[in-house]
């Protein structure tokens, strides 16, 4: 489990908690349960958490799948700099947000889930992870003819002298795939 990035799972968990908080809050406010102001708070907190957690951070290794339409929120979250980049801050923030919702039964599930997310973020922070925004890749230069026309090389490729033209011994094979390759067997 050495390569795991806990922040990714914490992110999923926190997003789910946000949704649960909102749902619980809506039910309590709509049916006017006792103590519904807590539920109103839970709705606000849930929405905030969802917005904060929606943009997925960039993985250290490999490419990250973006969530649909997350680039707008990424721009906003990026603005806050170290506050949103550091996971300690997120852990404490989520823990603090979770507490008031624990006073009402409808939102207590949201509290528990957000609490778990906060714990996982703490673990991520301890292991030195950080939130980095997913940047858009720079646009490639549009090629003439759609890239099918290639100019022939002007110079021959440099060749080493004949006696050094030996096969190197088989080393550690190849490269690490930048994009994870999965075999789709069918």
Q: Which stretch binds another protein (CB under 8 A): 54-62, 68-76, 86-94, 132-140?
A: 54-62
Does the footprint of another protein cover residue 29 (CB under 8 A)?
Answer: no
Q: How far apart are CA 109 and CA 116, in angstroms?
A: 11
Query: Which residue of 104, 124, 125, 134 would you call a contact of another protein, by CB under 8 A?
Result: 104
Spatial contact of 20 and 46, defined as CB atoms under 8 Å apart: yes
User: Which residue stretch of 44-52, 76-84, 100-108, 150-158 sits at the interface with another protein (rule: CB under 8 A)?
Assistant: 100-108
**Token pair 């039964």 in the structure block, residue:** 105
Q: Quick one: 19 exposed, middle or buried, by C-beta within 10 A (0-12, 13-18, 19+)?
A: middle
Instruction: Give the torsion sign (CA, 46, 99, 88, 10).
Output: negative
C-alpha 137: how far from its chain's center? Answer: 17
CB 67 within 8 A of CB 55: yes
| CB nearer another protein, residue 95 or residue 116 | 116
Cβ within 8 Å of residue 29, ≥6 positions away: 36, 39, 40, 43
Cα separation of 185 and 155, whole Å?
44
Tell me how far, at minimum, the Cβ of 33 lies from another protein, in Å.
5
Choose, by CB under 8 A, the member of 21, 28, 152, 167 that binds another protein: 28
Q: Minimum CB separation from another protein for residue 81, in Å?
A: 26
Query: Do the beta carbons of residue 53 and residue 18 sit within 8 Å?
Result: yes
How far apart are CB 127 and another protein at their closest, in Å? 13
* 12 binding another protein? (CB under 8 A): yes
Alpha-carbon distance of 41 to 28, in angstroms, equals 11
Judged by beta carbon, residue 132 or residue 143, the one nearer another protein is 132
By CB under 8 A, tell whether 112 contacts another protein: yes
Size of the site for another protein (CB under 8 A): 33
Residue 128 binds to another protein (criterion: CB under 8 A) = no
- Interacting residue ranges for another protein, rule: CB under 8 A: 1, 3-5, 8-9, 12-13, 16, 20, 23-24, 27-28, 31, 33-34, 56, 59, 62, 65, 103-106, 108-109, 112-113, 116, 180, 182, 185
């Amino acid at each position: 489990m050495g390569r795991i990035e806990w922040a990714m799972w914490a992110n999923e968990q926190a997003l789910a908690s946000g949704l649960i908080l909102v749902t619980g809050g809506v039910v309590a406010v709509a049916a006017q349960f006792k103590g519904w102001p807590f539920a109103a708070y839970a709705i606000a907190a849930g929405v905030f958490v969802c917005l904060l957690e929606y943009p997925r951070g960039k993985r250290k290794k490999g490419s990250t799948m973006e969530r649909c339409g997350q680039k707008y929120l990424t721009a906003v979250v990026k603005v806050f700099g170290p506050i949103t980049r550091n996971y300690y801050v997120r852990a404490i923030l989520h823990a603090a947000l979770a507490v008031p919702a624990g006073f009402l039964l409808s939102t207590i599930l949201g509290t528990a889930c957000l609490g778990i997310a906060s714990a996982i973020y703490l673990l991520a922070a301890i292991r030195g992870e950080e939130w980095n925004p997913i940047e858009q890749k720079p646009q490639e230069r549009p090629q003439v003819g759609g890239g099918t026309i290639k100019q022939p090389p002007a110079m021959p490729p440099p060749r080493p002298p004949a006696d050094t033209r030996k096969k190197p011994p088989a080393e550690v094979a190849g490269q690490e795939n930048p994009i994870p390759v999965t075999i789709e067997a069918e």
